[in-house]
Chains A and B, each alone.
Chain A
Amino acid sequence: MDKGIYLDNNATTMVAPEVVEAMLPYFTEQFGNPSSLHQFGNQVGRALKVARKQVQALLGAEHDSEIIFTSCGTESDSTAILSALKAQPERREIITSVVEHPAILTLCQYLEKDGYTVHYLKVDKRGRLDLQEYARLLSDQVAVVSIMWANNESGTLFPVEEMAEMARAAGVMFHTDAVQAVGKLPINLQESCIDMLSLSGHKLHAPKGIGVLYLRRGVRFRPLLRGGHQERGRRAGTENAASIVALGKACEMAGEALAYEERVVRSMRDRLEQGIIEQVSHCFVTGDPENRLPNTCNIAFEFIEGEAILLLLNKMGIAASSGSACTSGSLEPSHVMRAMDIPFTAAHGSVRFSFSRYNTMEEVERVIAAMPLIVQRLRKLSPYWNGDAPADEPGQEFAPTYA
């Protein structure tokens, strides 16, 4: 059996073979604790230094000490927000957006129960923020602004550099969840006003369970995990040395591949999108097509449901993901699709294809060939579909007893 077509790289990526090779010695020969004085620890300590520099280079950070290794993107997000609150107890407000990842949203909802006020910036139909509303909300009551760099479902980019400048001017800390952006776009933090940034290794061909919090020098900070002196006391716990080495290598490779990402990955994505839209009726691209990650496309197929699409795709060896309610275990379709006011007829049928540099144009053509049949098959089953078109007025043709 062939190994299938993996177009779910926003969920997680394959660990690059070079990365695996770089990390392996740190399970066996180089098993020392980097804090130890002896030779076993020493060499590991040096490897961590190299990795820190590699991450620093990809982020364009001014100092390598601004890189704090954590266990994942979620930990980085939590650390950033909770630190900002702890460090400025007199400030009781947070600004974020309605389309953040649950790593931010669930935490914010939890903080609301603790009495914090959270302002959720809304998005328009193409997933864009209203910067005027944002400007109005910035005040000396706000402890931190947390806005994602790129949305994981639609790929839409937010103007975080501009927003960070506005926050700086208002004297407010700015954090960005850049888990989906790092490695896909050039980033130069020293030229920006971004105070904190989260990234996650497994989205850029490093292993799962390793992340980074970038913390600009001079930004007030309170650790989440207290204990040993690791990461200069900012994140206690013996370092995940093998994964840190791996992340360093992955960052180096991502830096070298940025141009490829921008050119080749983008062209594969564009071809897939155009190929599907041309052949399948009643579907459309969600988000802001002009302003999004080069690797992501999210297409909403009307009158059918996403999970059913994924199951049929999976049967043909194609892996993608969906914002449908049924894939997430909740009864609501994706909060991102709802926030963009995508009609229910389509929100449940949204499918995300996300590429990596390991995909090929040949794979793209195979997906383009598969998609029309899958959609047709499910529409045939759908009560909202009749022959080659939607059942005239879906609401009238099909009038269920309860709404």
Chain B
Amino acid sequence: MWDYSETVQEHFFNPRNAGAVEAANGVGEVGSLSCGDALRLTLKVDPETETILEAGFQTFGCGSAIASSSALTEIIKGMTLSEALKVSNQDIADYLDGLPPEKMHCSVMGREALQAAVANYRGEEWKDDHEEGALICKCFAIDAVMIEETIRANGLRSVEAVTNYTKAGGGCSSCHEGIEEILGRVLAEQGEQLVINAVAAEARQPRTGLTNLQRIRRIEELLDEIRPNLQRDHGDVELVEVDGRHIYVKMTGACSGCQMAATTLGGIQQHLAEGLSEFILVLPAEELACRATVGG
């Protein structure tokens, strides 16, 4: 079950100001049965001072919806209307010593009911401008609407970028699939495709000042340096392919298939890594074939 703070529990089990206020002159109703939570807020406002004399709530909803309603009425009693309108949903959550991210919408509902009640008192019509999407990132309580809007507004292309802008995805990673789906949809609308490995490919690019050709020449030189050692054991090494950090070599002569091949590869790897001043992996050329099938 939810990890509710003591204060949330206290307000749920002993709600303050439950029920409708008699002779109310401001009524706000938000939510609906289908959403699973709904709130009616009734206010008695002193017309002279615009002070909230009494506030009452009726709530259909879960524990935190009831607690948020109770907290809201406690907060606004005695405030003037303009003071009350400054109460944010975060204030309600803070008053309750926090709400689980999945439950923040309960405090949003409280604030909206308040706006609706004030509008009703003033004889205005209140329009809901708040759109709530499915919760995507639970670690940071970010919903789908927020993610989509941020992607559009900033032309984002990767999960990492979404994380940088919204925090979504910066925690446990479980929402990356959901974020990618939204990205894919938005990009598709713009006639683009989501390149999932955009960043992974970038990471594969070695960070040296050398051009590819220079780097390969350098690798050849380094191999030449150790070739004499191998030839002494009647073996040899041949460079087959360079793919970013992965350097594929073929062991020939006595070295091929010999028990020591792995140790030899290790030695070559160390020599190349030192010579190139970067982290690389030396792999037997046979793995190139494996990689091709796995990749396909």
Chain A interface (Cβ within 8 Å of chain B)?
303-308, 310-312, 314-315, 324-327, 329-331, 333, 344-345, 348, 380-384, 394, 398-403
Interface residues on B, range: 35 or more
Contact status A401-B29, CB under 8 Å: yes
Contact status B62-A381, CB under 8 Å: no
Contact status B36-A325, CB under 8 Å: yes
Enumerate B1-60 residues with CB–CB distance to A below 8 Å.
Answer: 1-2, 9, 12-13, 15, 18-19, 28-40, 57-60
> Does more than half of chain B's interface fall in helix, strand or loop, or is it mixed?
mixed
- If A331-B35, A331-B36 touch, whether A307 touches B63 (CB-CB below 8 Å) is yes
Contact status A398-B19, CB under 8 Å: no
Give CA–CA (A329, B101) in the complex, Å: 9
Q: Is B225 an interface residue (CB 8 A)?
A: no
Contact status A400-B36, CB under 8 Å: no
Q: Given B33, B128, B134, which contacts A402 in the complex, CB threshold below 8 Å?
A: B128
| Minimal beta-carbon separation of A355 from chain B (angstroms) | 20
Contact status B134-A304, CB under 8 Å: no
| Minimal beta-carbon separation of B131 from chain A (angstroms) | 10
- If A348-B36, A381-B18 touch, whether A398 touches B62 (CB-CB below 8 Å) is no
Q: Is B126 an interface residue (CB 8 A)?
A: yes
Give CA–CA (A306, B61) in the complex, Å: 8
Contact status A400-B13, CB under 8 Å: no
Q: Is B138 an interface residue (CB 8 A)?
A: yes
Q: What are 5 A-B pairs with beta-carbon distances under 8 A?
A: A306-B62, A312-B13, A314-B1, A383-B39, A403-B34
Chain A positions within 8 Å of B29 at CB level: 383, 398-401
Given contacts A329-B138, A400-B29, 10 further A-B contacts (CB under 8 A): A306-B62, A308-B61, A326-B62, A383-B29, A383-B58, A383-B60, A398-B40, A401-B28, A402-B31, A403-B34
| Minimal beta-carbon separation of A22 from chain B (angstroms) | 31
Q: Is B186 an interface residue (CB 8 A)?
A: no
- If A327-B1, A329-B102 touch, whether A400 touches B59 (CB-CB below 8 Å) is no
- If A326-B36, A401-B29 touch, whether A304 touches B60 (CB-CB below 8 Å) is yes
| Minimal beta-carbon separation of A342 from chain B (angstroms) | 12
Give CA–CA (A330, B101) in the complex, Å: 11
Chain A positions within 8 Å of B114 at CB level: none
Chain B positions within 8 Å of A383 at CB level: 29, 38-40, 58-60
Contact status A401-B61, CB under 8 Å: no
Q: Given A308, A331, A348, A401, which contacts B12 in the complex, CB threshold below 8 Å?
A: A308
